[in-house]
């Protein structure tokens, strides 16, 4: 069953002469893990924000489990269904104690205190941060902060998790830490995941890779299908994971693995 659908969606920022997205027609099925890939300015982050009505389309419609994101009466339900994690965790952390930060969203939704306690503990355990529940977020590493941001979204119990370049500000260790957390969550909960990224290697374990270029869908398929089209990817200004490039028939690879 499709949980997010884009129906001939276009989007233009008020001060932009050109549309950021053009005639996007795509659907994401429940329980799937989709990586949306594109270079800076391709429109992929705009696509992420359309998924939970941070932005609404200027053309066409975005629907979340049948709810039109332009309908003000559906706004709260849409945002309860789709949780967003952004690239800078400092922009999502609002409290001086980790567990208070994770509790912030459910408190604002009017959840009962005993249920908030259960959700906070469960969310922190799921991201491997329960032992840090009484720590100050500003003293944590970048990867740990991002896991706290994910826990804060999980405490809202969304059905869909959209991550907008969550590793862009992290070092390689922090990137691995966050990606491992996302994969474990999906394995445990069956949650629908949309990962917005420009890192090719982050897409390898996805069910599906969607490549956005100049506001349009350029490629859509399994990682194997998409990354086998090496020349097309390079024409779009993107590279492919090193392991894919190494496997290209007849190629004399000079990567560290093959030298």
Q: pLDDT tens string for the chain (259 positions)?
A: 999 999 999 999 998 889 999 999 999 999 999 999 998 889 999 999 999 999 999 999 999 999 999 999 999 999 999 999 998 999 899 999 999 999 999 998 889 999 999 999 999 999 999 999 999 999 999 999 999 999 999 999 999 999 999 998 888 888 889 899 888 888 888 899 999 998 888 998 999 999 999 999 999 999 999 999 999 998 888 877 765 554 444 444 444 334 4
Pick the CATH number of 2-246 from 3.40.50.720, 3.40.640.10, 3.40.50.300, 3.30.1490.20: 3.40.50.300
Cα–Cα dist 65/242, whole Å: 37
The 3-state DSSP class for residue 34 equals strand
DSSP string across 68-111: ETT-GGGHHHHHHHEEEE-S-GGGT--SSSHHHHHHHHHHHTT-
Beta sheet of 216-221, edge-to-edge order: 82-85, 160-164, 192-197, 33-37, 208-213, 216-221
What b-and-e string marks burial along 120-138, b requiring 16 or more CB atoms within 10 Å of the CB? beebbebbebbebbebebe
């Amino acid at each position: 069953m499709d949980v997010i659908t884009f129906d001939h969606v276009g989007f233009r920022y008020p001060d932009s002469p050109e549309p950021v997205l053009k005639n996007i027609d795509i659907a994401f099925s429940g329980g799937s893990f989709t990586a949306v890939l594109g270079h800076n300015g391709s429109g992929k982050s705009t696509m992420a924000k359309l998924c939970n009505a941070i932005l609404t389309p200027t053309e066409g419609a975005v629907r979340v489990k049948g709810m039109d994101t332009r309908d003000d009466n559906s706004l709260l339900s849409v945002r309860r269904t789709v949780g967003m994690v952004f690239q800078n965790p400092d922009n999502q952390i609002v409290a001086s104690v980790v567990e208070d930060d994770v509790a912030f969203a459910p408190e604002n939704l009017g959840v009962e205190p005993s249920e908030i306690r259960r959700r906070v503990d469960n969310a922190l355990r799921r991201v491997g941060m329960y032992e840090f529940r009484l720590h100050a977020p500003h003293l944590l590493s970048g990867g740990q902060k991002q896991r706290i941001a994910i826990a804060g979204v999980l405490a809202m119990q969304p059905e869909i998790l959209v991550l907008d370049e969550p590793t862009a500000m992290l070092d390689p260790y922090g990137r691995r830490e966050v990606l491992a957390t996302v994969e474990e969550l999906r394995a445990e909960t069956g949650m629908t995941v949309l990962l917005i990224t420009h890192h090719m290697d982050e897409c390898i374990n996805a069910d599906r890779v969607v490549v956005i270029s100049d506001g349009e869908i350029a490629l859509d398929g399994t990682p194997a299908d998409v990354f086998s089209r090496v020349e097309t990817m390079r024409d779009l200004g993107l590279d492919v994971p090193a392991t894919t490039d190494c496997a290209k028939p007849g190629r004399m690879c000079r990567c560290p693995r093959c030298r």
